Amino acid sequence: MSEQDASRGMMFGGVFGRGGAEAGDQAWLRAMLDVEAALARALERAGLAPAGAGAAVTKAAVPENFEVAALAAHTGNPVPALSRALMKQVPRTAAGAVHRGATSQDIVDTAVMLMAARALEVIMADIAAAARAAAGLAVQHRATIMIGRTLLQQAVPVTFGLVAAGWLAALDDARAGLARVRADRLAVQFGGAAGTLASLGDAGPRVAALLAEELGLPLPVLPWHTGRLRMVELAGALAGAAAVLGKIARDVTLLSQSEVGEVHEGPGGPADPPGGGRGGGGPLRRGGSSAVPQKQNPVAAVAVLGCTKRIPGLLATVAAAAEQEYQRAAGAWHAEWETLADLLSLTGSAASWAAELLGGLTVDAARMSTNLAAAKGLPLAEHVTSLLADTLGPAAAHDLVAEAGARAVSAGLPLRDVLLGLPQSAERLEAAGITAEQIESALDPAGYLGSAAVFVDAAVAAHQQTPEGGDGAG
């Protein structure tokens, strides 16, 4: 059982706590202890703690030495209880190096930064895996023609390669946004009681710099206790990544509908743990329904959406909490803690599901062709209109094709038959010098893909220039 599953419980952890982006109680504890240990080492390096104090605190500051339940926030946050418990774990000579110069917010905020840095590495790796899979789909299906749909209605032909290239470009953008936050915005927090570090005298800035060095986090210009833009940017980057993952998952749920059937999820892992469920019958099928035996639900896509649907509200909470008064907020800071943890774990789970989803996606090119043919030429109406516009004029061409399209729909006929078979349409085409061969050509989907292939190639080439795409896509 993963740390995420343990923190959320096994009931729903498999959906909302999937992957390795940890942000539960144990991740919080580990991060806060790492900050306290790094502070002790920084104090020793600055000459404010005796030799060996940093090593002693670091040795004691391991999660196994502490009970999360004992750190209940009776003082409004868990840090006072944690620092007292840590002092009891170290020799008396090193106890003065525990929490010296810090306030509780320094430890919690820096722990969030550290936890986010660790989680983002995992999230970015899963998004990179999803992007590689999308690049492979884009290359493989560069010329696979399908119906393009706008406002959920059939529009004009596209290629599935272009659809996958759109996913790819968005995934690469999302990962780049997370990488920028990871590199530049996850700064250490160290300001003491009110942002002056007065208790450390003139050594405050040096200790802050050493603390940042110990943790591998950027050093800000000054403490940012009530300047919460970093938190908003972190939340925004996570929400942006979740939006990209949700869009892909929504496309898959729509394309895998029974009536559409153009893509299908792979089998994935088992639905039951080893041994199957109690009561006989063997293990459940992945994606099987509890009531409808024949169903094969798009589980990975649904799980992605289950995670991403929760994220806009969390982002709103972080943004609302950014208004913080004076030198320490009363409540707004507290509102960030679990909210940011949920943002990390839900985005991480969505990214993990998406990597599996795209890695195992099956594309039914034959069904795409069948669906396009079933539209009886109507997705090419725009192309026919363009052909006629030069001779009939744009408005007359539009009206002629719109009328033919309406007749085709009402009669269940191909657009070609209406254009060429009805005397009124045929006469107008003949008068305009438009031949049947030209109409036939205009109704060929392969001749109306515009720059789809160029865009696919551009997205794949751009992906190959990224660190995670440098090994190529196919």
- Residue 433, pLDDT score: 87
7 catalytic? Reply is no
- Residue 1, pLDDT score: 42
Q: Is the pTM of this model over 0.85?
A: yes
pLDDT digits 0-9 by tens, 394-439: 999 999 999 999 999 999 999 999 999 878 788 888 888 889 999 9
Q: Are residues 409 and 344 in the same domain?
A: no
Residue at 279 is within a domain: no
pLDDT digits 0-9 by tens, 140-150: 999 999 999 99
Please name the residues in contact with 239: beta carbons below 8 A apart, sequence gap of 6 or more. 311, 312, 314, 315, 343, 347
Residue at 275 is within a domain: no
Percent of the chain surpassing pLDDT 90: 81
- Residue 238, pLDDT score: 98
Q: How far is CA 12 from CA 17, 285, 291, in A?
A: 8, 18, 20
Task: Quote the mean pLDDT of the chain.
Answer: 91
Percent of the chain surpassing pLDDT 70: 91
Scan for tokens 């909210």, then name that residue.
339
- Residue 474, pLDDT score: 42
Q: Are residues 357 and 386 in the same domain?
A: no
Residue at 457 is within a domain: no
Output the domain CATH number for residue 36: 1.20.200.10
Residue at 283 is within a domain: no
Q: Are residues 258 and 134 in the same domain?
A: yes
Q: Are residues 318 and 382 in the same domain?
A: no
Q: Are residues 344 and 395 in the same domain?
A: no
Q: Are residues 348 and 207 in the same domain?
A: yes
Q: Are residues 105 and 179 in the same domain?
A: yes
| Alpha-carbon torsion angle 268, 274, 277, 279, nearest 10 | 140
Q: What's the rounded mean pLDDT across residues 216-243?
A: 98
Residue at 460 is within a domain: no
Number of domains in the chain: 2
Q: Which residues is 440 bridged to in the sheet? A: none
Considering 315, 343, 365, which residue would you say is the last residue of a domain?
Answer: 365
E strand or H helix at 146, and its extent? Answer: strand 145-150
Residue at 83 is within a domain: yes
Q: Are residues 395 and 251 in the same domain?
A: no
Question: Out of 84, 199, 289, 451, which one is annotated catalytic?
Answer: 289
Work out whether strand 153-159 and strand 263-264 pair parallel, antiparallel, or are unpaired: unpaired
Residue at 288 is within a domain: no
Q: Are residues 346 and 213 in the same domain?
A: yes
pLDDT digits 0-9 by tens, 72-98: 767 789 999 999 999 999 999 999 999
Q: Which of 137-141, 272-276, 353-357, 411-415 bottoms out in mean pLDDT, i.e. has the lowest?
A: 272-276
pLDDT digits 0-9 by tens, 108-131: 999 999 999 999 999 999 999 999
Residue at 147 is within a domain: yes
289 catalytic? Reply is yes
Please give the structure tokens belonging to residue 159.
């290629």
Give start and end residues of each alpha helix (H) in 378-414. 381-392, 394-411
The Cα 318–Cα 308 span in angstroms is: 16
Domain enclosing residue 318, as ranges: 3-267+295-365
Q: Are residues 235 and 135 in the same domain?
A: yes
Question: Out of 45, 206, 328, 367, which one is annotated catalytic?
Answer: 328
The Cα 391–Cα 397 span in angstroms is: 8
Q: Are residues 357 and 392 in the same domain?
A: no
| DSSP 8-state symbol, 222 | S
| DSSP 8-state symbol, 284 | P
- Residue 290, pLDDT score: 47
- Residue 4, pLDDT score: 53
Rg (CA), the chain: 30
